[in-house]
Structure 1
Amino acid sequence: MHPLTSHWPVELVDGPVRLRPIRPRDQRAWREINQRNRDWLRPWEATIPPPPPGHLPPRRPTFRQMARHLRAEARAGRMLPFVVTYEGRLVGQLTVAGITWGSMCAGHIGYWIDRAVAGRGVMPTAVALAADHCFGTLGLHRIEICIRPENGPSRRVVEKLGFREEGVRPRYLHIDGAWRDHLVFALTAEEVPDGLLTRWHQRISDRPQTQQK
């Protein structure tokens, strides 16, 4: 059996932070968060480039279409599509995508979070949970996270977790209506032998009490 499909669906938990598979009935909560956070999320959201002349632009999928596609990709062993909950409430999304096996054994993580809970350590915890699952349970070797240089909040997540910055990918993804440069951050399994969540917990415990917010 494929290593991903033999461990899917899965739920990952650390304190009040939980990752669970996205499901169609998340639609109402997901839409509410996205609408309330439009200005916060729009600069970092993937967009579809204009089609060639004479072609109609593709329609943006509905939430249910998106959820069905993500769940099908998970069953095929190519993706881990999670929602992030905090204290029982849906607050964001995290996807491990582009999963490749064979000689590479790698994947990349993308995420977003409700601005109302940003800065509370929710997303670093979620990324650490997902990375540890990928390394320890699935047997992936490398995890990448690609971030626009201007996205300070997202860059702070990888900096807190100790991801290495590897360089720039020029015009890497179509974001907010144009092709945008991205910084590449990465970790391999050998760099976190005790787990990324352990590293994150240690970093929190080592911070002065005045900074632990």
Structure 2
Amino acid sequence: MDLTVPRRHGPISIRLVRQRDARTLQNELLSNRTWLRPWEATNPDGAVSFDMRAGVRRLLQQYRDGGGVPLVMEYEGEIAGQLNVWGIARGSLASATIGYWVSERFAGHQITPVSVALATDLCFNEMRIHRMEICIRPENRASLRVVEKLGFRYEGLRRRYIHIDGDWRDHYAFALVREEVPNGVLGRWVSGQVPPDAASIPPGDRLAI
């Protein structure tokens, strides 16, 4: 499995992050502060570093250790954001979680749903992951649209789950297992076979926020 070879659909592709991507990623993060800050993980014990060189080294080490897959999202060959598969568990659990960010100037080009679909298919078909999870803040309408488009199944409300933008934030949890998408996440979406209500949030959980 060579993750340096892009997986693509139309003008959108994902590939393993490279050390030389650090400068571009850092520039995108710094120039998108207002756009990204409400959704970024923060550290309750102190500030998060924006040293992307060190960050990419750390992500690639996690990849070598089998704990994550750090990818960049590209649009027409230009880096548009980052997608990380993290928390990989093997054995009887065989699960992982997806997180991502995309630059504001690339919003509206379907980059995130296509990239999430490509990454999930990669994990299911090439890495033998069985379950993929995405956790989203209730206020993040753009990310909620991603799981609606792709048919990730709603699994529940997680109270004060991740430290985001300076405080512990509630998240909705969505997931898919491999058997639900025998023809792939991307294939199901492109062919118009996504269940229309898979990501629906029950009124009780909406009112709990």
Instruction: Please report the TM-score for the alignment, with normalisation by the length of structure 1.
Output: 0.86
Contact 2:23 2:52 in 1 (8 A): no
Among candidates 104, 109, 122, match of residue 115 of structure 1: 104
What secondary structure sits across from 2:176 in the alignment? strand
Shift of 1:182: 0.5
**Residue 140 (structure 2) aligns with:** 151
Matched, 1:46 2:11: no
Structure 1 match to 2:201: none
1:68 to 43, 57, 64: 57
Instruction: Give 2:20's aligned residue.
Output: 25
Whole-Å Cα distance in 1 between the matches of residues 12 and 48 of structure 2? 33
Distance 2:119 2:81 in 1: 14
Dislocated runs of 4+, deviation >4 Å: 6-10
Deviation at 1:11, TM superposition (A): 2.7
Q: 1:65 and 1:84 mapped to 2: Cα distance?
A: 20
Q: Structure 1: 5+ residue runs without aligned partners?
A: 1-5, 51-56, 205-213
Identity between Structure 1 and Structure 2 (%): 49
Among 151, 168, 183, the alignment partner of 1:179 is: 168
CA distances 1:34-60 after superposition (whole Å, capped 9, x unpaired): 12211110000000003xxxxxx4762
Q: Name 2:9's counterpart in structure 1.
A: 14
CA distance in structure 2 between the partners assigned to 1:61 and 1:93 by the alignment: 14
Deviations 1:97-149 (A, max 9, x none): 00001111000000111112212211111001000011111111100000100
Name the aligned partner's letter for residue 30 of structure 2.
Q
How big is the alpha-carbon RMSD for the aligned residues of Structure 1 and Structure 2?
Answer: 1.6
How high is the TM-score relative to the length of structure 2?
Answer: 0.87
Q: Are the counterparts in 2 of residues 125 and 200 from structure 1 also a CA contact under 8 Å?
A: no
Query: In structure 2, how many angstroms separate the alpha carbons of the residues matched to 1:98 and 1:89?
Result: 27
User: How many equivalent pairs are there?
Assistant: 193
